[in-house]
Structures are given as structure tokens and as C-alpha cells.
Amino acid sequence: MRILLTGGTGFIGTALTEALLSSGCELIILSRGVHAKRIGCRFVRSLDEIAATEPLDAAINLAGASLAARRWSAGYKREIVASRTGVTRQLLELFARLERPPEALLSASAIGYYGHHGDECLTETSLLTSPLTSTLSPQAKPGFAQRLCSDWEALALQASQYGVRVCLLRLGVVLDGGGGALLEMAKSFRFGVASWLGSGEQWLSWVHRQDVVRAIQFLLQRDDLQGPFNITSPEPVTGRDFAQALQAHHRTFLRAGVPAPVMRVLVGEMADELLLAGQRVLPHALESAGFAFTYPTIQGALAAIYADHVALRIHSSSHQA
């Protein structure tokens, strides 16, 4: 398969690149950086470098400025939006000029699409109308992340006008060693403090990075599938449950919640949008299509991650020494 990948240098993209290259795919990776040559990979800085006659079987769209990297100033929010809509628009322009548009576009989104719904279980069909007008729950309030996902998905869906099969990847919090959210979440544990955010009652819909890669490969292969897919493990946990599962991998001497007001001071608007509230999301569409998660439980996922990434608990070890 010949695949165009945006965001191929990121946390998910690097793992996906390895898997796709190992399975014999040829990749064109859109990246702003300069990269060493690699067999099977061609890096482009602009999609204009792709000729109209080039054959492409699929495009995978993962590019976007990180939501968690910085405080959401007005300027950074514009960058978060523009990086996603900008790259997605460039993909649409490419599909319009390709002699043969790709069969599929797999475009990233996030479970932030659903907004906040307390303990309700959310599947892909929970919000069949626009999430911004949904009355599913009185707790539903369109915030920045929800508007971002909604606009980003609407843009990606426009690829269907070129005959492209569009799958929307509604990603949960992706966990693995060596990057992503887990490094930040495990920080206090590495210094002996088991912590959770706010009440700890909020839901965390997480997924192991290897299951994300496998789900993307599954959706690439299955040309009968399209639409939104929650890429979250079948067993979401609360913040406190997550802290308990993480504790099994660290020697801790204190358990404490970080009070919500402290989080608001520390990270601003992001606290209420991403950290103090969550979504209880189930991967209904993927499982109905026959996809099986390698890591359905948080205990199994963390055990595998900690076995592979000893550095995650390095401070705990030195603390104990």
C-alpha cells in the first residue's frame, strides 16, 4: 500500500510508521522538519511536492499542534485550530487535483468531540446531530475542544466528495512509554506521590498506543467501514482507578488529589476542558466490526508499558535506593 501520512513524526505517528513499514507499506510523510533518508519513506514539506499522477492508496491525517503542550492562550488556540484545519484543507486540495484520489482517508479526532456527559456511556451514535446542539445531557457544554473536533471532522468528511472513504478516529488518551500523556500523569508517582486530579471521579477513556496502531491498520484494510470510530479501550476508568493502577508500578508513600482550583491556576481553561472532566467512551463501532483490543484493561496495558519502559519509574527507583 502507498500511504500519505501527516503527523508521522509524532507520538502516534512514529509507532504507526514502524508498523506500516514493517508490513511492507510505502510512506510519504508530510513534515515541517528535515529527516534522514529511510527506505520506504519519502518526507515532503508540502503536499505540492506530490504530483497529480502519483498513485496513493490511502491518507492518514494525524498532524496538529499538541493540545496539552502549552497553556491555551488566544494565540496558541489559533495555532491548535489552524494546524489541524490547515493540513486537512491541504489534503482536500490534493485529493481534488489527484488523477486518482486515494481509496481512504483516516483522519484523527478526539473523544473531546462528545463534550462532557458525566457517567453516561458514549458510543459513536450517542450524538447523531451536531454535538454543539445536542441535548443528550444537561452537563453538555460546547467548549474549545468540542468545537475543534466538530470542525475538524466536518472538514475531513468533505473528502467523501472525491469518492474517498472517510474514517474519523475519535482517539482517547493514548498511553505508552516514551511520550504522550503517561509521562506527565506518572510524574508525581515517580517521586512517591500517587495523585489524581480534582475529585478523581471523572472518566478517563484511555487506549494503549499499540491498539491505536492496530485499529488504524484494521480500518485501512476494511474497505466496508467508514464514519466515526471511538479508539478507546473497552474499559474506561475513573481518575482514582487510574491512580490505583499506576500505584502498582511505583513505590508511593502518599495518596492525594490535586484540588480543582489549583489545576485551574496551573493550566487555566485546559483544566476544566481536559483534566477535571472526562468522557466515558466505548469503542462500539470498532468492536462491532470485529476488532479485538490487545490491551482491554488498564492493569494489562500498564503492565506491558512498564515492562517495556523501565525509565518511566526511574525516579522511584533512585528514590528508593
Binding residues vs ligand NAP (CB under 6 A) = 7, 9-13, 31-33, 62-67, 79, 83, 87, 108, 110, 171, 173-174, 180-181
Closest separation in Å from C-beta 128 to ligand NAP? 22
Taking the CB of residue 88, how many other CB atoms lie within 10 A of it?
24
Q: CB of 220 within 8 A of CB of 1?
A: yes
Closest separation in Å from C-beta 87 to ligand NAP? 6
Distance separating alpha carbons of residues 213 and 190, to the nearest angstrom? 28
Q: Judged by CB, which is closer to ligand NAP: 118, or 179?
A: 179
Residue 186 CA: distances (Å) to CA of 45, 69, 179, 280, 314: 35, 16, 11, 21, 11
Task: State the residue number with the nearest CB to ligand NAP.
Answer: 10
Closest separation in Å from C-beta 152 to ligand NAP? 8
Closest separation in Å from C-beta 173 to ligand NAP? 5
Closest separation in Å from C-beta 255 to ligand NAP? 25
Q: Judged by CB, which is closer to ligand NAP: 76, or 191?
A: 76
Q: Judged by CB, which is closer to ligand NAP: 8, or 257?
A: 8
**Helix H or strand E segment including 247:** helix 239-247
Closest separation in Å from C-beta 270 to ligand NAP? 13
Q: Judged by CB, which is closer to ligand NAP: 184, or 224?
A: 184
Closest separation in Å from C-beta 142 to ligand NAP? 18
Q: Judged by CB, which is closer to ligand NAP: 113, or 316?
A: 113
What is the separation, in whole angstroms, between the first and last Cα of the chain? 50
Q: CB of 211 within 8 A of CB of 234?
A: no
Three-state DSSP class for residue 80: helix
| Residues constituting the chain | 321
Q: Quick one: three-class SS letters along 149-178?
A: HHHHHHHHHHHHHHCCEEEEEEECEEECCC
Q: CB of 27 within 8 A of CB of 41?
A: yes
Distance separating alpha carbons of residues 284 and 226, to the nearest angstrom? 14
Q: Judged by CB, which is closer to ligand NAP: 216, or 252?
A: 216
Rg (CA), the chain: 20
Q: Judged by CB, which is closer to ligand NAP: 142, or 192?
A: 142
Distance separating alpha carbons of residues 320 and 254, to the nearest angstrom? 14
Q: Judged by CB, which is closer to ligand NAP: 145, or 276?
A: 145
Say if strands 121-122 and 206-208 run parallel, antiparallel, or are unpaired. unpaired
Closest separation in Å from C-beta 76 to ligand NAP? 10
Distance separating alpha carbons of residues 77 and 286, to the nearest angstrom? 31
